[in-house]
Amino acid sequence: MDVNFGVQAAQESNWIDPSGIWGFVGTLFGAVVGGVISWVLQRQAFKDQTARQQQHDMDHDRQLATAMCLKAFDMLNQLAMIEKHVVSELKKMPTPDAPHPWRFVLPLANVLHPVNFSADELSLLLRLKENDLLNRAALSCRAHNTQLSAIQTYSTQRMNMSADMPSTVTGNHGVAIFTHRQMQKFGPRWAELNSLIIYVRDGVTKDRKDMDTLLLDLAKAMNERIQCPFAVLAPTPHHPDLPTKVDVNFTIKRQK
């Protein structure tokens, strides 16, 4: 009896308590469920953060696109006003090939300003792979600023020369009579003014048309690619006359 009882006691000591098994399973299940819930929450938080970042990036891109369109619109207006001024002034010439066209084109008041696309704005076109728009934007911006520089240099030089020329002024028309020596002195300055106004006359219409097309294509591309709200609804509007500086049209005569 004592031997059998000892064997029986040894056999019973090898069994695992069932309550311990279920406790382990419950702990493991709780850890798995907690991990899944934590993963789901983290994944949702990551999605929300990604969505917010994407929305922020999209809003920033739209701001850049809008700024580019507004700058292009500003440059278009300035080119159109220069074109209107120069063309209307040159119509005063008695014949298209009359000498010294500077005599008929009044200088502009200093109301124009250079415009440049920022690196961030041009980088937007690069990221969107709008390579053609990128190249055209850079070239059109440079052309616009060159036209502005030419017309402003012309205006300054013409005002200075008008003040230096020996002339008799009646109303807004002046008659300047030069000796041979004076003709030699002022001749290079006339040539410079003629070159500037001919440069503007021959280039401003093309530059204005290029900027007009760029603005339309830019607004269309930005609307399609990033839903930029900027839209060009009409052709180039009517532009008012630019203010001119007080000056005169000249008749040049050689002293007898």
Neighbours of 76 (CB within 10 A): 26
Residue 5 has pLDDT above 50, yes or no: no
Q: At what angle do helices 131-164 and 18-90 cross, to 10 degrees?
A: 40
Of 88, 139, 76, 138, the C-alpha closest to 112 is 76
Q: How far apart are CA 87 and CA 108, in angstroms?
A: 13
Of 6 and 219, the structure prediction assigns the larger pLDDT to 219
Task: Label residue 154 exposed, middle or buried (CB < 10 Å: 0-12, 13-18, 19+).
Answer: buried
Q: Report pLDDT for 23.
A: 66
pLDDT over 90 (residue 27): no
- Residue range 221-246: average pLDDT? 64
More reliable by pLDDT, 236 or 76:
76
- Measured in residues, the chain has a length of 256
Instruction: Tell me the CA distances in angstroms from 82 to 106, 138, 145, one per residue in order.
Output: 12, 20, 12
Q: Residue ranges per domain, the chain?
A: 42-254
pLDDT bucket at 22, cuts 50 / 70 / 90: low
Reduced to 3 states (helix: H, G, I; strand: E, B; else coil), residue 38 is helix
* pLDDT above 50 for 238: no
pLDDT of residue 241: 52
DSSP 142: H
Contact 104, 190 (CB under 8 A): no
pTM: 0.72
Q: Which of 37-51, 100-114, 121-135 has the lowest mean pLDDT?
A: 37-51
Please indicate whether residue 32 or residue 86 has the higher confidence score (pLDDT). 86
Give pLDDT, residue 127.
Answer: 92
In terms of Cα–Cα distance, which of 232, 237, 238 is closest to 213? 232
Q: What's residue 25's pLDDT?
A: 65
